[in-house]
């Protein structure tokens, strides 16, 4: 474990540079830009969950005065290949194209079928009513188990399951099977003193970002275009849009506006190619903005799952074998997060014998997109629940059973590599020593605990750092700021350069003004973009040392950088005054011109982040209402650059996980029409539903990052699902393995247990 380091700026909690504009309403989000001559685009959506499109007739819509353009799938270029979308999202480019605008078929209710652009939003809505679409309605399959039956209607009649040997001869709705194995599970179960096997169901859930998707696109007659959009990755939006429209990428400028939440859901394009094509057709700038209803019906939720889990445990708590089988709803197109779900599920533990199988299954629901630690909440809900039940049966404390099996440095991860320094044991010990864990469970309540894990990724980032003539600093990065990352970049630059936080500001550059950066996702930004910022600052320091050496008439290696100043090495020309960054900037004209540093990298060594959450809940046995009395989130951040934003991630993830555990779910009727496409009946928690989420940041530095950073954004959503479930089980004495733990489900389960 690395030594604790005292930093001057890192670990402090300054005000974020984008804060004032956000709380005063000045900040510009995706739908805020207003351009001269701008018109408004709207999308016509499929009223059927599964149908062939026989024809689309736009002519009556185009005849309506004030309508400037209309389009359908036929207006997009064909020949989109099957290459992967990439980033955090599953699926292929050709599926993405159909998800943006249907071609010959619709596979979920609400899929885009046509679009118009008109003088006003109201006129655009009127025009939609004039579009004539002829459908041939097909049977619908919604349940993941029903979709795997041989008799199920096929969403894609050419789909042959991948990952199964021998390759199946017949098509099915199962796109692929992912398998990870170690040892011999049957032998492992034989060695166990206790074997449990259970079914687990988790519902489809939405990211619930408060800002609906929005963008403004402006094309010119020469083929160039500018797009303002709310995105987690404007470079990837540019690439996808250029591919879907067959446009020259060099002609496209994508500007990331402020973003009102994404959680993975804003890593894929929906509106941008449509708005741009409408702009090309009309010759006018086009604004598009989804309603909340459209967000629910047609943008990426995460998969609902059905699975089974089996565990074998010795009396001392040692896990001898574990098995998970889980089917994931992909929605209408392939791409459920089955890979990470399978890789993550056993990662916190050393298990000699395991088998995990996850399936990507097509159903007539919206195409899933990334959602915070994609796949892990579902698979880990199953294992963290069955492990808890095993601990109950054996009379072992839930922390102790996890400590007995905990992965640590050198443990071979289920997905292959050996873990470098990790902080799972430290998180478990922090939980054990936490005053809330030592406190007795409140009268009548139940306590639940669960762990979480996420790999985190590095990927590509760029940063430039410019020193102004007075020594103040601008950091330019290509990562949209969702969770306060500009403040974190400024803190890392301040620490590296040894200048005050207040003299540094960070901006997110557009695709034509800074180097390529992957999406803000995978919990990568503070780690990877932070690494690029640190390296760009080091580039500046190298240049400054060289300029100081020239000024002082010494060799470059005779100058050192200390606390924001160039100083001569001990014994070298001690007469000279140290030169600050401001001194260097003031003299820049005489020493080689403006001082700028840059770095572009593919960051390696993203450290995994583990968590432990525990909570006390009270259940009203007569109404099934669950009150979360307290909730403690403990997580290894490696090093918290800006602790307030680390806590923000932990609290936000906990809120989303608690909501998913208790009330959030997609409810469809038999025709595949979502019944609760709004925040009234898709119940994310409101402030009064939650206690203050208590956070404890554990810091086991990541050796691969200059300041020890581990990504923190995704891990927090995982543990709450099982922690809440385990707490409800302890409060009521009844285990309910299907989420959400909604009041009707709890009352029904308690009634059934009472009768039994």
Partner 1 sequence: MRYEAPTTTKEAANLLAKAKGKAFVLAGGTDLLVRMKAGMLEPDLVVDIKRIPATRKVTKTASGFTIGASVSGAELGENKAVKKAWPGVVEATELIGSDQVQGRCTMVGNLCNASPAADSVPAMIAAGAKAAIVGPKGKRSVAVEKIVTGPGKTSLKKGEMIESISLPKGGAKIGDAYLRFIPRTEMDIAVCSAAVCLELGAKNVIKKATVVLGAVAPTAVTVPAAAKAIIGTKLDDDALDALAAACEAACNPIDDKRGTIEFRTEVAAVLARRAAKIAFERAGGK
User: Are 617 and 626 spatial neighbours (Cβ–Cβ below 8 Å)?
Assistant: yes
- Whole-number Cα distances in Å, 696 to 523, 657, 663, 699: 19, 17, 26, 10
**In 3D, which of 637, 608, 603, 264 has the Cα closest to residue 415?**
608
**Shorter beta-carbon distance to partner 1: residue 259 or 628:** 628
Q: What is the DSSP letter of 73?
A: G
Q: Which of 16, 17, 19, 12 is nearest to 639 (CA)?
A: 12
Place of tokens 């733990």: 741
* CA triple 351-352-357, angle to 5 deg: 75
Q: Which tokens belong to 562? A: 């200390």
The smaller minimum CB distance to partner 1, of residues 419 and 679, is found at 679
Q: Which is nearer to partner 1, 573 or 669 (CB)?
A: 669
Per the DSSP assignment, residues forming a β-bridge with 105 are 52
Residues near partner 1, by CB under 8 A: 125, 293, 622-625, 662-663, 667, 675-676, 680-681, 683, 685-686, 688-689, 742-744, 747-748, 751
Q: To the nearest whole angstrom, how small is the minimum distance from the Cβ of residue 688 to partner 1? A: 4
Q: Given the complex with partner 1, which of 17 and 304 has the nearer CB atom?
A: 304
Q: Are 584 and 595 in contact (CB under 8 A)?
A: yes
Least distance between partner 1 and beta carbon 129 (Å): 10
Q: Which is nearer to partner 1, 507 or 747 (CB)?
A: 747
How far is the C-alpha of 173 from the C-alpha of 152, rounded, in Å? 8
Query: Measured from the CB atom, is 23 or 574 closer to partner 1?
Result: 23
CB 619, min distance to partner 1, A: 13
Q: How far is the CB of 45 from partner 1 (least distance, A)?
A: 13
Which C-beta is closer to partner 1: that of 686 or that of 756?
Answer: 686
Closest approach, Cβ 671 to partner 1, in A, equals 15
**Count of CA atoms in the C-beta half-sphere (13 A) of 343:** 13
Structure tokens at 72: 């359908």
CB of 749 to partner 1, least distance (A): 12
Q: Which is nearer to partner 1, 504 or 658 (CB)?
A: 658
- State the nearest-atom distance from the C-beta of 705 to partner 1, in Å: 40
* Cis amide bond preceding 423, omega within 30: no
Give the tokens for residue 538. Answer: 């080091």
Smallest separation (angstroms) from partner 1 to the CB of 193:
40
Smallest distance, partner 1 to C-beta of residue 695, A: 22
Q: Which is nearer to partner 1, 566 or 739 (CB)?
A: 739
Q: Which is nearer to partner 1, 23 or 680 (CB)?
A: 680
By beta-carbon proximity to partner 1, the closer residue of 37 and 744 is 744
Q: How far is the CB of 685 from partner 1 (least distance, A)?
A: 7
- Taking residue 696's Cβ as centre, other Cβ atoms within 10 Å add up to 17
Least distance to partner 1, CB of residue 104, Å? 29
The angle, 0 to 180 degrees and rounded to 10, between the axes of the packed helices 424-433 and 398-405 is 160
d(CA 176, CA 259) in angstroms, rounded, equals 34
Per-residue CA distances from 486 to 15, 389, 562, 609 (Å):
11, 43, 25, 22
HSE-CB for 58 with a 13 A CA cutoff? 18
Pair type for strands 504-508 and 473-477: parallel
Q: How far apart are CA 374 and CA 372, in angstroms?
A: 5
């Amino acid at each position: 474990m690395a030594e604790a380091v005292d930093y001057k700026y890192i670990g402090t909690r300054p005000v974020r540079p984008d804060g004032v504009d956000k709380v005063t309403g000045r900040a510009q989000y995706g739908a805020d830009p207003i351009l001269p001559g701008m018109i408004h685009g709207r999308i016509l959506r499929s009223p059927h969950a599964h149908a062939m499109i026989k024809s689309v007739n736009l002519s009556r819509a185009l005849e309506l005065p004030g309508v400037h353009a209309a389009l359908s799938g036929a207006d997009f270029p064909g020949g989109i290949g099957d290459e992967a979308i990439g980033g955090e999202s599953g699926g292929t480019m050709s599926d993405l194209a159909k998800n943006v605008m249907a071609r010959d078929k619709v596979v979920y209710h609400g899929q885009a079928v046509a679009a118009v652009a008109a003088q006003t939003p109201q006129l655009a809505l009127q025009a939609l009513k004039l579009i004539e679409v002829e459908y041939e309605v097909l049977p619908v399959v919604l349940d993941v188990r029903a979709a795997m039956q041989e008799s199920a209607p096929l969403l894609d009649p050419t789909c042959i399951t991948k990952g199964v040997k021998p390759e199946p001869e017949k098509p099915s709705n199962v796109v692929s099977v992912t398998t990870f194995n170690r040892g011999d599970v049957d032998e492992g179960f034989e060695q166990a003193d206790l074997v449990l096997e259970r079914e687990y169901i988790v519902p489809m859930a939405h990211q619930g970002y408060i800002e609906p998707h929005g963008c403004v696109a402006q094309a010119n007659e020469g083929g160039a275009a500018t797009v303002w959009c709310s995105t987690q990755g404007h470079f990837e939006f540019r690439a996808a849009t250029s591919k879907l429209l067959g446009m020259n990428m060099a002609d496209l400028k994508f500007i990331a506006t402020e973003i009102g939440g994404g959680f993975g859901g804003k890593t894929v394009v929906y509106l941008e190619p449509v708005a741009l094509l409408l702009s090309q057709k009309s010759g006018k700038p086009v604004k598009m903005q989804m309603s909340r209803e459209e967000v629910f019906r047609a943008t990426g939720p995460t998969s609902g799952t059905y699975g089974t889990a089996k565990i074998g445990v010795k009396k001392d708590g040692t896990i001898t074998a574990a098995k998970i089988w889980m089917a994931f709803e992909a929605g209408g197109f392939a791409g459920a997060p089955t890979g990470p779900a399978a890789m993550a599920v056993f990662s916190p533990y050393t298990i000699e014998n395991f088998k995990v199988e996850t399936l990507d299954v097509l159903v007539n629901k919206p195409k899933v997109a990334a959602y915070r630690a994609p796949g892990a909440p579902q698979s880990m809900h199953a294992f963290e629940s069955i492990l808890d039940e095993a601990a109950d049966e054996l009379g072992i404390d839930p922390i102790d059973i996890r400590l007995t099996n905990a992965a640590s440095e050198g443990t071979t991860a289920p997905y292959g590599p050996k873990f470098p320094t990790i902080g799972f044991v430290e998180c478990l010990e922090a939980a054990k020593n936490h005053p809330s864990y030592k406190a007795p469970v409140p009268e009548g309540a139940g306590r639940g605990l669960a762990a979480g894990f996420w790999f985190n990724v590095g990927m590509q980032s760029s940063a430039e750092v410019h020193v102004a003539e007075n020594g103040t600093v601008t950091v330019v990065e290509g990562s949209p700021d969702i969770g306060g990352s500009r403040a974190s970049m400024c803190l890392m630059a301040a620490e590296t350069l040894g200048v005050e936080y207040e003299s540094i500001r960070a901006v997110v550059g557009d695709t034509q003004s800074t180097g390529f950066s992957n999406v803000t996702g995978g919990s990568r930004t503070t780690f990877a973009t932070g690494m690029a910022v640190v390296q760009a600052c080091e580039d500046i320091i190298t240049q400054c040392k060289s300029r100081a050496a020239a000024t002082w008439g010494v060799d470059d290696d005779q100058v050192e950088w200390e606390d924001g100043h160039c100083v001569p090495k001990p014994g070298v020309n001690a007469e000279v005054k140290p030169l600050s960054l401001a001194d260097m900037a003031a003299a820049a004209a005489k020493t080689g011109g403006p001082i700028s540093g840059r770095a572009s990298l593919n960051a390696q060594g993203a450290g995994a982040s583990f968590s432990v959450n525990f909570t006390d809940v009270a259940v009203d046995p007569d109404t099934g209402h669950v009150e979360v009395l307290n909730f403690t989130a403990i997580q290894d951040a490696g090093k918290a650059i800006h602790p307030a934003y680390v806590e923000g991630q932990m609290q936000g993830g906990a809120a989303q996980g608690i909501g998913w555990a208790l009330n959030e779910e997609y409810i469809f009727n038999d025709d595949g029409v979502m019944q609760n496409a709004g925040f009234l009946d898709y119940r994310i928690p409101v402030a009064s539903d939650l206690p203050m989420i208590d956070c404890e940041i554990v810091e086991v530095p990541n050796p691969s990052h200059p300041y020890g950073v581990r990504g923190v954004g995704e891990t927090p959503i995982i543990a709450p699902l099982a922690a809440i479930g385990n707490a409800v089980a302890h409060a009521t004495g009844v285990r309910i393995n299907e989420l959400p733990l909604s009041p009707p489900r709890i009352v029904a389960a308690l009634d059934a247990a009472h009768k039994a």
